[in-house]
Every structure is written in C-alpha cells, then in structure tokens.
Amino acid sequence: AQSVTQLDSQVPVFEEAPVELRCNYSSSVSVYLFWYVQYPNQGLQLLLKYLSGSTLVESINGFEAEFNKSQTSFHLRKPSVHISDTAEYFCAVSDRDSGNTPLVFGKGTRLSVIA
C-alpha cells in the first residue's frame, strides 16, 4: 500500500522568499499525485495535480510541483511567497493501476509566511 511522507511538519519563511515543501511517496508504480491546501478555518482545496505527461505542473497562484519518478518525489515550490499563502499543505497519491482507490494523504506541512 502507498504511503506519503511530508518531511517537514512546519516551515516558516519570510514574505517574498522562495519555499519548497517536500513530499515523497513509497512505491515507484505508476501514480497520480496531488497537492491540496487548507487555509485557516477552511476545507481542503485542490492546488495542483500530476496525472501524466509533463513532469512539471503549475497552479494558478504561482505554485509548481515536479514529479520525479526515480526519487518518488513530488515537491511543491514557489519562488516568492505571500502572506496569503499561509496554510497547511497536504500531498496525496493514488496508484494509477489499482482502479479508483482512495487517495493516501501525508500528514501535512504548515507553511507560515512572516512579514
């Protein structure tokens, strides 16, 4: 069964600095990968996803993630963060060849952007 490791539980970063939130999954089989964001006191929202094709995927608010099959990673990056990016970020994975199995989520990384 898949598992997801988010290596950092908390990441503080100054406004306008770059950030990387790390995510590794356990199996090298074909996968679908997702990043979800949870703003304070709100539900989870889909941020971006990798299904196939280009290994670099982007969101509408400047985040990007790169699928690396050899390292079983899907790290999330942003070159310049804003205060409004303060939130908890969850990485999730699903095995492509196991049918529509439920997503397996990591424990989350709390990003705190400091003015």
Q: Does 51 bind other proteins (CB under 8 A)?
A: yes
Decide the pairing of beta strands 87-95 and 19-21: unpaired
**Residue 49 binds other proteins (CB under 8 A):** yes
Nearest-angstrom CA–CA distance, 15 and 115 = 5
In the complex, least distance from residue 17 CB atom to other proteins, rounded to whole angstroms: 25
C-beta of 106: minimal distance to other proteins in Å? 6
32 binding other proteins? (CB under 8 A): yes
Residue 45 touching other proteins (CB under 8 A): yes
Query: Which two three-digit tokens encode residue 35?
Result: 């990043």
Distance separating alpha carbons of residues 74 and 27, to the nearest angstrom? 13
- Residue 13 as a binder of other proteins (CB under 8 A): the answer is no
Is the separation of the CB atoms in 111 and 47 below 8 Å?
Answer: no
- 90 touches other proteins (CB under 8 A): yes
3-state helix, strand, coil in the chain (%, to 5): 5, 50, 45
Nearer to other proteins, 102 or 115 (CB): 102
Residues in the site for other proteins, rule: CB under 8 A? 6, 9, 32, 34, 36, 42-46, 49, 51, 90, 92, 94, 100-108
